[in-house]
Amino acid sequence: MRKFFCIILLPFVLMACNEGIEKPDLSNVSTDVSMIRFDSILSVQRSDELENTIPEWLNNHPIFMQVFSQEMIQLGNPIDSKFPYYFRSFLTDTVIREVLLETNKQFTDISALRKQISEGLKMYAYYLRPNIKLDIYFTISGFNQSVLASDSLLIFSMEKYLGRNHRFYSLLHIDNYKRMRMHQDRMVPDMLTALLYNDFEFDTNYGNTLLHSFIYEGKIQYVLKNLLPEVQDTILWNYSAEHWKWAVTNETSIWTYLVENDKIYLTESEQIRKFVSDAPFTAPLGQNSAPRALVFIGYRIVESYMKNHPEITLLQLLNMQDAQQLLEQSRYNP
């Protein structure tokens, strides 16, 4: 189980977002997906009936209940005799009640979201995992993970998608850069990213350098863009228009900095995190830099590789483990 997780503002940058990516015919692609509004179930659940209800939930949603209880809200094993007591405290908490009211208010009708999720999963099935089978749950987690994904289960925390400027996020003092992804347009990208991380894990057996890290993340980002060809780049990257412009404008300078300062083959995990982890900016490149700037470089290397090797499928790309070979064969020249 992995935890997780077009308004033209800059015409010369965003006009070509996803240029050249043709959406395939999905008419013959089938998926087996169920979607369950567990947040709505929680909102009407009486706390004095939990002793009877929890066994029913365990019977009807056994895998979900184990993951939700132990990993998302971290209240322990739902079969434990004390679990109803712990869950009652969670369910009757004033903040949790308010969160449930808000999520049910904002997500009263999710028919459009269901359609977007179905379409995204069909793309995933077409390119990567045929006959995909998933149980998808919409719930709340007390502002913990946005998405949890496994081979057969995917869980959304709805309170993580209420809108960048929602008052909850201000009250919780959530950093602005984290709020960038806390809106409904990020739900499908977050879902597909979580599935990609689950299905194609980073393999340290082939190397654990900065190069391997940003090539791996670049592959994820490249595939995500191909799975969602109609979504603008700023949403896919959680970038402001200014950050996107910075990344595009400074691509050559970033690569030159890496080469001239022997950074490509760094192995220190803390240094690698500074280059590729989510943050308000990429620390080694200055406070005006775009976040995860080396992931952008990794993406551009992968893009160059795929342009020079059109016979390679997205599945084959994700299964490629030799980052050095990919770099050499990409003929990347920013």
**Percent of the chain's residues with pLDDT above 90:** 89
Residue 161 burial (C-beta neighbours within 10 Å; 0-12, 13-18, 19+): buried
Tokens of 181: 């992804």
For 41-99, write each residue's pLDDT tens digit: 999 999 999 999 999 999 999 999 999 999 999 999 999 999 999 999 999 999 999 99
> Would the pTM count as exceeding 0.85?
yes
Whether 138 and 33 have beta carbons less than 8 Å apart is answered as no
Distance, in Å, from the CA atom of 184 to the CA atom of 205, rounded to the nearest integer, reads 37
Q: What is the pLDDT of residues 97-137, one digit of tens each?
A: 999 999 999 999 999 999 999 999 999 999 999 989 999 99
- Please determine, for residue 3, whether its predicted confidence score (pLDDT) is greater than 80: no
Residues of the chain above pLDDT 70, percent: 94
Q: Per residue in 145-167, pLDDT tens?
A: 889 999 999 999 999 999 999 99
Closest CA to 213 of 275, 256, 255: 275
Domain ranges of the chain: 24-199, 201-330
